[in-house]
């Protein structure tokens, strides 16, 4: 769910930019900045809604486009101001024993949090 960002890559870009700017201005190059710990960035933003979503809408499930698919039912999405319906769709199974865990809204202190769908 979380993806580490290599700080050495970011530092290299920062140092290269500093050298380029310094040489363009005719000044001595700047020393590289001190090493920073690797940052961890979320793969998906956390969505928190102030109230429970409306009841799910009825959906007609179309015939599957193949055998290695699973239906992901539609759900309500909070856009920061209102509930928006996201229609269901088919997901391709990555391997025969993969199990689809349907996304859902969970009540937490402070509101409702979206738990994204995923393969197990």
Kindly state the tokens that stand for 84.
Answer: 């928006």
**Whole-prediction pTM:** 0.60
How far apart CA 83 and CA 55 sit, in angstroms, is 11
What is the rounded distance in angstroms from the CA atom of residue 20 to the CA atom of residue 38? 25
Please give the Cα distance from 120 to 98 (Å, whole number).
Answer: 6
User: Could you read off the pLDDT of 92-119 as tens digits, one per residue?
Assistant: 999 999 999 999 999 998 899 999 999 9
Residue 90, pLDDT score: 97
Distance from C-alpha of 109 to C-alpha of 42, rounded to nearest angstrom: 21
Q: pLDDT for 20-60, tens place per residue? A: 444 445 556 656 555 444 444 345 678 899 999 999 999 99
């Amino acid at each position: 769910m979380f993806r580490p960002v290599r700080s050495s890559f970011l530092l290299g870009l920062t140092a290269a930019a500093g050298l380029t700017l310094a040489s363009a201005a005719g000044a001595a190059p700047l020393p590289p900045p001190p090493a920073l710990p690797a940052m961890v960035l979320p793969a998906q933003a956390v969505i928190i809604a102030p109230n429970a979503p409306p009841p799910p809408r009825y959906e007609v499930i179309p015939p599957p486009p193949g055998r290695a698919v699973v239906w992901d039912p539609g759900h309500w999405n909070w856009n920061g101001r209102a509930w928006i319906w996201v229609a269901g769709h088919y997901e391709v199974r990555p391997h025969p024993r993969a199990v689809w865990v349907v996304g859902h809204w969970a009540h937490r202190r402070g509101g409702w949090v979206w738990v994204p769908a995923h393969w197990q």
